[in-house]
Chains A and B, each alone.
Chain A
Amino acid sequence: MNIHEYQAKALFEKFGVPVPKGVAAKSPAEFESALAQLPDAPVVVKSQIHAGGRGKGTFTDGFKGGVKFAKTKADALDYAKKMFNNTLVTIQTGPAGRKVQTVYFTQASDIKKEYYLAILLDRASSKPVIVASTEGGVDIETVAHDTPEKIFKVLVDPAYGIADFQVRELIFKLGFNAAEGKNAAKLIRNLYTMFWETDAAMVEVNPLITTPTDQVLALDAKVSFDDNALFRHPEIVALRDLNEEDSKEIEASKYELAYIALDGNIACLVNGAGLAMSTMDIIKHFGGNPANFLDVGGGASKEKVVAAFKIILGDANVKGIFVNIFGGIMDCNVIAEGIVEAVKEVGLKLPLVVRLEGNNVAAGKATLANSGLALVSGDTMADAAQKIVKLVA
Chain B
Amino acid sequence: MSILISPETKIMVQGITGAFGGKHAQLSLDYGTQVVAGVTPGKGGQFFEHKGHKVPIFNTVAEAAKATGATVSAIFVPPPFAGDAILECVDAGLDLAVCITEGIPIKDMIRVKRAMSGAKTRLIGPNCPGLVTPGTGEGSKGGCRIGIAPGYIHKKGHVGVVSRSGTLTYEAVFQITSKGLGQSTSVGIGGDPVNGTSHLDVIKLFNADPDTKGIILIGEIGGSAEVEAARWIKANCKKPVAGFIAGATAPAGRRMGHAGAIVGGVEDTAAAKIAVFKECGIEVAATPSDMADALLRAAKAKGVSLA
Q: Please report A residues at the B interface, Cβ cutoff 8 Å.
A: 92, 121, 123-124, 126-128, 141, 144-145, 157-159, 196, 199, 201, 226-229, 231-232, 258, 260, 262, 270-278, 280-285, 290, 293, 295, 298, 326, 328-329, 357-359, 380-383, 385
Contact = CB atoms under 8 A, between A and B. Distances in A.
Contacts of B247: 277-278, 281
B219 to A, nearest CB: 9
A285 B224 contact: no
A284 B271 CA distance: 14
Q: Nearest 3 CB-CB pairs, A to B? A: A274-B165, A273-B257, A272-B167
Contact of B105 (A228, A273, A326): A228
A272 B163 CA distance: 13
B152 A274 contact: no
B27 interface: yes
Main secondary structure of the interface of A (DSSP, over half): mixed
Given A123-B193, A127-B114, A276 B256 contact: yes
Interface residues of B, number: 65
Given A128-B110, A199-B105, A277-B247, A228 B79 contact: yes
13 contacts: A126-B114, A141-B266, A145-B266, A196-B107, A199-B107, A228-B104, A274-B163, A274-B258, A275-B171, A281-B288, A282-B289, A293-B256, A381-B171
B106 A260 contact: no
A364 to B, nearest CB: 14
B218 interface: yes
Interface string B100-115: 0001111111110111
A59 B175 CA distance: 51
A127 B220 CA distance: 21
B111 to A, nearest CB: 5
Nearest to B169: A274
Contacts of A258: 256-257
Nearest to B20: A298
A273 B256 contact: yes
A329 B288 CA distance: 20
A181 to B, nearest CB: 28
A134 B225 CA distance: 30
B132 to A, nearest CB: 11
A274 B168 contact: yes
A186 B61 CA distance: 43
A159 B87 CA distance: 14
Interface string B232-264: 000000000000101111110111111111000
